[in-house]
């Protein structure tokens, strides 16, 4: 069994019988100093307490008499282990001092940490075996140390938190940088590639084309442009839907790309038309070889959704410098050659044949450009004012379509409108005109201008399509304009075609609040009975009658009759193509309501028309 840390002596002498250590005046002084010492001090001999000072008693919570009366000193506390107790006991037995820090216990059982010093007294007789103990309460120091350790732990925790937060922030920053790099790469890809096929877009193609032409010029080389169009694709797209059509285009692009050389560039111009740039050729034979491989590869069947689909490519080829030195001109020549191949029913390629193909090629080229004019933003609207003849007040204007071709300049409507009618493009073009007119009215309204109605011409095909009313409602909803600011114009011939259907459409337009005018009136064969039934608002006298109204008696009679008819039907009447003061005077005398023509104003761009509206 281990020996306690503080061995004690037999009970110290009481106050009535002073012990061996308390005799004489000198000893009284010593005990006064001993008792008043600021540190806890005590003496022991063989496990019993001999004496303890006041600080010692306070520290442990015992009275002096209680401690001295105890058979042994009970303040041992919990040693760390038996080895420590044996080491202390051995040191004291060998008369060596001991110093250590350990946990002690007070009388009430509470523990505290203390620094304990034990010094054996050198002497004989009554001093033999006496040990002087000095106990220093380390509670405050330990509490301070614990607080310091707690603060250190908290600091370490905060440092760890900050480190983790910093690590997380760094990780997030790295991720954001990576995400940004990916996004920038995606944006760069989108800016330089066709979204549907992934091919380089027109801008990238044109840059590479110009570089290839410069290199060929410097090296006396040859460059070829291949223009490919796909017969039967439109039928597949219309019958099976755009999803299948888009997938087919992607597959076609993949095959076509595999047919080209590594340094060639291919782009999609729109729809099912592709153009390929072949730089660094030895001659026309190289271009023909690539074109043959391209046609063979693209012509193979495509299996989509269990269907075997086929398209027939036609390829036109133009060469630098044989056919020209300008990139746009070379593309146009390749396109013309492609249309020649199509017109001859060839599933093959043709080289551009020069001016001998000019008339038919130019028409085919114009048709090709017309297909892409909307997506390229080449159409614009001008607006020709209409005036009340009596007051001279601006009362309406007519939206007139203009085609600003990038190479030809302004193309006459007389040239492209019949072509649009023939190809069916007039429907898509007419819808664009209708929506753009509504957008322009909305822009004017947003600027607070005092607006008048704007009229839009509808072709016969557009008027009789079931989508017309839906398109009108959609355009009005999207722009939020007042329907009373929109007029539609249809020709007299359109009015009299399928009269029951026409009546139903006109009634729905009337319910929408959209006015209807009959354009080119007098050139058709209107029935007065039908005209009375139709909810129309204006009759527009064709310019062919107005042109010679002053000098041709027949025209004067026709114009006067139309004005009289309109008045009897309570319709307003507008004279188109008014270009002279004599015509104006004639129309005034006959009671015409409104006039339109160069005498008053040419068609104007939106910015030039705005001052005529004025502020509200």
Strands 273-281 and 307-309: unpaired
Sign of CA dihedral 297, 299, 304, 306: negative
CATH of the domain spanning 202-370, picked from 3.60.15.10, 3.30.70.270, 2.40.50.100, 2.60.40.10: 3.30.70.270
pLDDT value at residue 28: 78
What phi, psi does 369 have (nearest 5°)?
-65, -35
Domain ranges, ordered by start, for the chain: 20-137, 202-370, 379-613
pLDDT digits (tens, 9 = 90+) for 267-279: 998 788 899 999 9
CB distance 438 to 380 below 8 Å: no
The answer to whether residues 383 and 402 touch, using CB atoms and an 8 Å cutoff, is: no
pLDDT value, residue 593? 93
Do the beta carbons of residue 206 and residue 292 sit within 8 Å? no
Contact 542, 524 (CB under 8 A): no
Enter the CATH code of domain 20-137: 3.30.450.20
Q: In the chain, which stretches have pLDDT less than 70?
A: 1-26, 73-86, 123-127, 189, 344-347, 355-365, 522-530, 615-616
End-to-end CA distance of the chain: 113
**Strand, coil or helix: 501:** helix
For CA atoms 470, 471, 474, 476, the dihedral sign is negative
Measure the CA–CA gap between 553 and 559, rounded to whole angstroms: 10
Q: Give pLDDT, residue 493.
A: 77
The CB density around residue 284, as the number of other CB atoms within 10 Å, is 14
What 3-state DSSP class applies to 442? helix
Element (H, E) at 541: strand 538-541
User: Are 212 and 276 in contact, with CB atoms under 8 Å apart?
Assistant: no
List strands edge to edge, sheet with 349-351. 265-270, 273-281, 222-231, 312-320, 349-351
Phi, psi of 396 (to 5 degrees): -170, 175
Q: Which one, of 499, 562, 563, 581, lies nearest residue 534 by Cα?
A: 499
* 59 Cβ contact partners less than 8 Å away, ≥ 6 residues apart: 40, 106, 114, 135, 137
What does each C-alpha distance from 203 to 184, 276, 320, 375, 430 come to in angstroms? 18, 14, 20, 15, 28
- Contact predicate 49/74, CB 8 Å: no
Q: Which CATH superfamily is domain 379-613 in?
A: EAL domain (3.20.20.450)
What does the pLDDT read at residue 364? 64
Contact 45, 118 (CB under 8 A): no
Predicted structure pTM score: 0.48
- Helix 242-259 / helix 233-240 crossing angle, nearest 10 deg: 150
Q: What are phi and psi of 4, to 5 degrees?
A: -60, 155
Report the pLDDT value the prediction gives residue 2, as an integer from 0 to 100: 36
Q: Residue 527's pLDDT is what?
A: 57
What is the predicted pLDDT for the residue at 525? 54
| Rounded CA separation 253/56 (Å) | 100
């Amino acid at each position: 069994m281990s020996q306690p840390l503080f061995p004690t002596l037999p009970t110290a002498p009481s106050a009535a019988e002073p012990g061996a250590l308390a005799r004489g005046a000198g000893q009284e002084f010593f005990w006064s100093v001993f008792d008043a010492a600021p540190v806890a001090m005590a003496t022991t001999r063989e496990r019993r307490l001999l004496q303890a000072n006041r600080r010692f008693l306070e520290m442990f919570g015992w009275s002096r008499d209680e401690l001295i009366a105890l058979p042994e000193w009970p303040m041992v506390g919990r040693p760390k282990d038996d080895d420590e107790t044996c080491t202390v006991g051995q040191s004291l037995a060998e008369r060596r001092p001991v110093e250590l820090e350990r946990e002690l216990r007070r009388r009430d059982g509470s523990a505290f940490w203390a620094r304990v010093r034990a010094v054996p007294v050198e002497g004989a007789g009554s001093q033999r075996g006496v040990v002087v103990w000095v106990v220093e309460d380390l509670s405050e120091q330990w509490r301070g140390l614990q607080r310091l350790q707690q603060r250190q732990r908290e600091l370490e925790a905060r440092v760890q938190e900050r480190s983790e937060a910093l690590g997380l922030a760094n990780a997030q920053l790295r991720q954001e940088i990576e995400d940004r790099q990916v996004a920038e790469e995606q944006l760069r890809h989108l800016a330089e590639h066709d979204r549907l096929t992934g091919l380089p877009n027109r801008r990238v193609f044109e840059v590479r084309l110009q570089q290839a032409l410069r290199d060929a010029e410097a090296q006396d080389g040859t460059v070829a442009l291949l223009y490919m169009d796909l017969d039967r694709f439109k039928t597949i797209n219309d019958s099976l839907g755009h999803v299948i059509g888009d997938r087919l285009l992607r597959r076609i692009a993949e095959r076509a790309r595999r047919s080209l050389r590594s340094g060639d560039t291919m782009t999609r111009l729109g729809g099912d038309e592709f153009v390929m740039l072949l730089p660094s050729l030895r001659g026309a034979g190289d271009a023909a070889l690539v074109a043959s491989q391209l046609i063979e590869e693209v012509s193979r069947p495509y299996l989509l959704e269990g269907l075997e689909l086929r398209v027939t490519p036609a390829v036109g080829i133009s060469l630098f410098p044989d056919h020209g030195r300008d990139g746009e001109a070379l593309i146009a020549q390749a396109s013309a050659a492609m249309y020649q191949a199509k017109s001859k029913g060839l599933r093959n390629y043709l080289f551009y044949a020069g001016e001998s193909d000019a008339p038919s090629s130019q028409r085919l080229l114009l048709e090709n450009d017309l297909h892409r004019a909307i997506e390229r933003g080449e159409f614009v609207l001008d607006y020709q004012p209409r005036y009340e003849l009596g007051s001279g007040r601006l009362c309406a204007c007519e939206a007139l379509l203009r085609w600003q071709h990038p190479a030809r300049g302004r193309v006459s409507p007389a040239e492209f409108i019949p072509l649009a009618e023939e190809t069916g493009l007039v429907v898509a073009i007419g819808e664009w005109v209708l929506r753009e007119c509504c957008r322009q009215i909305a822009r004017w309204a947003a600027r607070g201008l005092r607006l008048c109605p704007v009229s839009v011409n509808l072709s016969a095909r557009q008027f009789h399509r079931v989508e017309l009313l839906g398109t009108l409602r959609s355009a009005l909803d999207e722009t939020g304009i007042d329907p009373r600011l929109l007029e539609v114009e249809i020709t007299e011939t359109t009015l009299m075609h399928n009269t029951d259907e026409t009546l139903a459409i006109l009634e729905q337009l009337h319910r929408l609040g959209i006015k209807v005018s009959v354009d080119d009136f007098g050139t058709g064969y209107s029935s007065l009975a039908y005209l009375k039934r139709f909810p129309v608002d204006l009759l527009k006298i064709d310019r062919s009658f107005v042109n010679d109204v002053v000098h041709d008696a027949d025209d004067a009679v026709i114009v006067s009759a139309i004005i009289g008819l309109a008045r009897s039907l309570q319709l307003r009447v507008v004279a188109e193509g008014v270009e002279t003061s004599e015509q104006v005077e004639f129309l005034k005398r006959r009671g015409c309501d409104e006039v339109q023509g160069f005498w008053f104003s040419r068609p104007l761009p939106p910015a030039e028309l705005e001052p005529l509206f004025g502020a509200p």
